[in-house]
Amino acid sequence: MSQDGTMPPVLFVVGTAGAGKSSLVTAMQRWTRFLEVETLCVNLDPGAERVHYDPEFDVRDMISLSEVMTEYDLGPNGAQILAADLVAAQAHDIAEELDGLSGEIMIVDTPGQVELFAFREASSHMINVLGHERSAIIYLFDPMLSRSPSGFVSQMLLSSIVEFRLGLPCKNFLSKADLLDEDELEKILEWSERLEILEYALFEEAGGQRTEFAINQLRLMQQFAVSPGLTPLSSEMEEGLADVLTFAQALFGGMADSRDGFAADIEGEKN
């Protein structure tokens, strides 16, 4: 694969349905091509209607959701679950297929519904086959859900659960940041860094009711000085994409030649 013949780092893009996972993969492919970083895109969502990137591997070539529905007499939800397991059962074949390709980074689009990826045993198997030690999660916060303190905290908890469940390093991004006005964006980013402000907002939102669970979680996080550290991202505006690569690079190194390229590019964006 890469120069030393091993598989490149793998970034799994995870988030609730509609959070912008597939769009991020599309944007990363377009943008990294421009930087001449060799990116391998993989679609692991058998339920995707269509994808706008060129996948090196597309699970839909292996499994058709409509065939699974017919063959096993299942509705769309049951078929999605079974399809995820059928994919994982063929994980070695998938890895073999990918093994022949050269690339500096692999970006994996995961099923629309986050629980299909996070809670099926099949996913851990898939991650192990692709290489647990060089995998990480890009977790996308939905911008609309992030506007309310309770929606924001719910996503913080969900992201922590995904990180815990899959046992991989995880970085949180605020997806579709272009849809938020400046004040909203600033407020959400402040919540992500100053949990005491988030705690107050949560308390105010609920009028002091039923927030004990979330507040206790937040206090625990404050005590251990963990904050979600959200980075704004817009696939539409190609913003924050460099932070995705920087995250991978900080964890796994590599992409040395392109580094100057995209660092210069970020400068360019700011000017």
Q: Please, what is the minimum distance in Å from the beta carbon of residue 51 to Mg ion?
A: 7
209: Cβ–Cβ under 8 A, 6 or more apart, which residues? none
Longest Cα–Cα distance in the chain: 58
Is residue 240 a contact point for ligand GDP (CB under 6 A)?
no
Query: Locate tokens 């992409």: which residue?
Result: 255
Q: What is the DSSP string of 114-134?
A: HHHHHS-HHHHHHHHHH-GGG
Single residue of 91, 144, 157, 179 touching ligand GDP by CB under 6 A:
179
51: Cβ–Cβ under 8 A, 6 or more apart, which residues? 22, 25, 26, 43, 58, 109
Is residue 43 a contact point for Mg ion (CB under 5 A)?
no
Is residue 172 a contact point for ligand GDP (CB under 6 A)?
no
18 versus 169: smaller Cβ distance to ligand GDP:
18
Nearest residue to 65 via CA among 51, 80, 78: 80
Site string for Mg ion, 10-29 (x = CB under 5 A): -----------xx-------
Q: Please, what is the minimum distance in Å from the beta carbon of residue 23 to ligand GDP?
A: 3
Q: Which does 235 bind (CB under 5 to 8 A by kind): Mg ion, ligand GDP, none?
A: ligand GDP
15 versus 228: smaller Cβ distance to Mg ion:
15
Q: Rounded to an integer, what distance in angstroms lies between the CA atom of residue 33 and that of residue 52?
A: 15
Contacting positions for ligand GDP (CB under 6 A)? 15, 17-23, 112, 176, 178-179, 234-236
